[in-house]
């Protein structure tokens, strides 16, 4: 066997060299070549101070807010989606809507949980609907877009609360109606600018209608909000 | 006996027996044939989750059943995944083969132990990932619902209009569209309109929330009455499927939406009664005609159509009166009439009969007063 091996393996004489126990043999032979570079990235963001990480995320969220305010045909919201912005907006809106009728006997205003559940389950249902209709957008991208487009309605809520400080007569109702309608239209337009592109062209109306209904319900909750006396 | 020998042969061709590996320090070259289900690179067999005998966890057993639940999407996804994995694994096997071919002997025992540990960990990870993605593909597959949402806006619009037009011929079974997009959107629209009605009537819900009650009422009606009609259809041997009852009843809610949208804003009882009879009646007639065309026999027809008509019309009546806003003007004119004033109380259980009677008394009172 040695002769046969010797002809085919030129280093056959080295095969019976043994390694002593105290020389460590290390190394990863089967590691893919991209390993070291990925590890470098991980180390670099792990070592930075927490403030840098938080600021970087906040800047990304703020950048997306700007994209919602001026809904051009940009892909920034879709490309790097995140759910921090929607969470922030949802919690803010639910807290602002919470203040009405905190009296325990009257349960007329929406609870925090109600608003939260409406926003998130509504977004999930719209996303499922758009996926079932043949959309190319992914689940979390769609949640991200719908959540960020609640921003005009949150701004409207703040304005409504300010207006309600001055009284709740028909004049304030008219002002609030105008503000809420404008922001509802803005939200719907902004979200369709992002969502409708991912649908086949003849089915855009089928996707836009649930979005319209969703923002209509939220706008309705904002409009009918009345603080406790 | 012969079959067990054959299976052993099969094992030997594709996978060396485990007891040999304690003496050998070099993995044997592997033949990855497409027909087998072995997806491991390990000489010792690895965590193979599909052994030849077919025993395993529940998720995998479901796949191995002969009558898989009917959807071919799961099988396609599964095959695709397996082919991808086999490619990856064979590529890995070739890569490791070239590099560890001669080094196995060179490194001695310590090298083997380190490598073995890493490969064990890798195998565990791969097996776990495979299990999780299989479970996910099996249970969270929304592709099952995809064919029911395959509609165009023009179709939805025409079906909405058709839901108000009763068909004339009941001699042959009428076609019922089997889609779920229109009914779902109509249910959500009804929820929104109901919410509006509850707000304007200043309904106070004690245990629960406004939104929860609205969603529960509408979805409960749609799903519950559809199931009930399907059950009756099963009893009277009517030719209609569950999907078709869901679709039929869903489109029947279009009439409800229209009536409630108008009457929650314009509070005039005669208007409501007229619209109730006209619009509600038309949509009920449409559904009844479809059911009549699919049922044979007088009594079965009476049973199923009667119950559907009653439930449909009564639901509209309930929705209107349970969340009804009292117009201040009518209350003012009734100050002289000897009728009990309607008190706004927290609503635990809606008293339908009392509410209807009160409303009728009030309108009669208003009529008498105006004369």
Provide the shortest C-alpha distance from residue B126 to chain A (in Å): 15
Spell out the SS3 assignment of B172-195: CCCCCCCCCHHHHHHHHHHHHHHH
* ipTM entry: 0.73
DSSP A164-199: HHT--SHHHHHHHHHHHHHHHHHHHHHHHHHHGGGS
Residues 93-132 of B with CB under 8 A from A: 95-96, 99-100, 103, 105-108, 110-111, 114-115, 118-119
- Give the A-side interface with B, CB within 8 Å: 15, 17-19, 21, 24-26, 28-30, 106-108, 110-111, 113-114, 117-118, 128-129, 131-134, 202-203, 205-206, 209-210, 213, 216-217, 220, 224
DSSP state of B276: I
Q: How confident is the model at residue B84 (pLDDT cuts 50, 70, 90)?
A: low
Q: For residues B61 and B42, what is the distance between their CA atoms, to the nearest angstrom?
A: 24
Residue-wise pLDDT for B133-169, tens only, equals: 888 776 667 777 888 888 888 889 999 999 998 888 8
Cβ atoms A192, A93 nearer than 8 A: no
Q: For residues A206 and B179, what is the distance between their CA atoms, to the nearest angstrom?
A: 13
Residue-wise pLDDT for B275-320, tens only, equals: 999 999 999 999 999 999 999 999 999 999 999 999 999 999 998 8
Residue-wise pLDDT for A186-209, tens only, equals: 999 888 887 777 777 788 888 889
Residue B339's H or E segment, with its range, is none
CB contact under 8 A, B149 and A129: yes
B347 φ, ψ (degrees, to nearest 5): -95, 110
**Nearest one of B363, B227, B241, B331 to B291, comparing CA atoms:** B241
Domain ranges for chain A, please list them: 81-223
Average pLDDT, chain B: 72
- Judged against a pLDDT cut of 90, whether residue A35 lies above it is answered with no
**Nearest one of A127, A128, A165 to A146, comparing CA atoms:** A127
What torsion do the CA atoms of B62, B68, B74, B76 make, to the nearest 10 degrees?
A: 120
Q: For residues A175 and A162, what is the distance between their CA atoms, to the nearest angstrom?
A: 11
**Nearest one of B197, B175, B172, B322 to B251, comparing CA atoms:** B175
């Amino acid at each position: 066997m040695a002769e046969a091996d010797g002809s085919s393996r030129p280093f056959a004489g080295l095969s019976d060299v043994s390694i002593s126990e105290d020389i460590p043999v290390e190394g990863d032979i089967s590691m893919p070549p991209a390993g070291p570079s990925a590890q470098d990235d991980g180390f670099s963001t792990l070592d930075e101070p927490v403030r840098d990480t938080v600021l970087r995320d906040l800047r990304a969220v703020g950048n997306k807010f700007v994209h919602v305010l001026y809904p051009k045909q940009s892909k920034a919201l879709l490309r790097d989606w995140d759910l921090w912005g929607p969470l922030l907006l949802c919690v803010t809106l639910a807290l602002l809507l919470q203040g009405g009728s905190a009296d325990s006997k009257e349960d007329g205003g929406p609870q925090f949980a109600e608003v939260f559940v409406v926003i998130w389950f509504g977004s999930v249902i719209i996303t499922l609907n758009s996926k079932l209709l043949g959309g190319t957008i992914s689940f979390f991208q769609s949640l991200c877009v719908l959540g960020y487009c609640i921003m005009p309605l949150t701004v409207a809520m703040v304005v409504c609360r300010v207006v309600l400080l001055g009284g709740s007569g028909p004049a304030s109702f008219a002002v609030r109606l105008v503000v809420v309608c404008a922001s509802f239209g803005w939200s719907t337009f902004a979200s369709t600018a992002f969502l409708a592109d991912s649908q086949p062209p003849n089915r855009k109306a089928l996707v836009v209608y649930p979005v319209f209904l969703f923002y209509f319900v939220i706008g309705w909750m904002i409009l009918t909000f009345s603080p406790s006396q | 006996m012969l079959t067990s020998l054959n299976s052993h042969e099969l094992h030997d061709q594709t996978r060396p027996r485990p007891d040999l590996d304690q003496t050998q320090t070099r993995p044997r070259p592997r033949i990855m044939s497409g027909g087998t289900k072995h997806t491991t690179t390990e000489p010792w067999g690895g965590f193979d989750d599909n052994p030849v005998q077919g025993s395993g966890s529940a998720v995998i057993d479901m796949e191995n059943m002969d009558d898989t639940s009917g959807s071919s999407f799961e099988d396609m996804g599964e095959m695709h995944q397996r082919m991808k994995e086999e490619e990856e694994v064979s590529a890995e096997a070739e890569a490791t083969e070239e590099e560890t071919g001669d080094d196995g002997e060179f490194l001695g025992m310590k090298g083997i132990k380190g490598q073995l540990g890493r490969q064990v960990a890798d195998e565990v990870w791969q097996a776990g990932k495979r299990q999780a993605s299989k479970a996910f593909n099996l249970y969270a597959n929304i592709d099952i619902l995809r064919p029911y949402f395959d509609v165009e806006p023009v179709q939805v619009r025409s079906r909405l209009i058709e839901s108000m037009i009763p068909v004339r011929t009941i001699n042959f079974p009428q076609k019922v569209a089997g889609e779920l997009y229109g009914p779902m959107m109509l249910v959500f629209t009804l929820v929104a309109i109901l919410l509006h009605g509850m707000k304007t009537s200043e309904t106070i819900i004690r245990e629960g929330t406004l939104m929860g009650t609205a969603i529960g009422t509408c979805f409960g009606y749609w799903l519950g009455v559809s199931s009930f009609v399907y059950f009756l259809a099963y009893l009277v041997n009517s030719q209609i499927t569950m999907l078709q009852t869901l679709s039929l009843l869903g489109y029947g809610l279009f009439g409800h939406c229209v009536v409630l949208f108008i009457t929650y804003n314009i509070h005039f009882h005669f208007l409501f009664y007229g619209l109730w009879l006209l619009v509600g009646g038309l949509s009920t007639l449409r559904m009844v005609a479809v059911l009549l065309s699919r049922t044979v026999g007088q009594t079965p027809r009476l049973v199923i159509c009667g119950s559907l008509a009653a439930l449909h019309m009564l639901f509209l009546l309930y929705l209107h009166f349970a969340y009804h806003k009292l117009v201040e003007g009518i209350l003012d004119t009734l100050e002289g009439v000897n009728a009990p004033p309607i008190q706004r109380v927290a609503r635990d259980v809606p008293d339908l009969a009392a509410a209807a009677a009160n409303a009728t008394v009030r309108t009669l009172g208003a009529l008498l007063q105006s004369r």
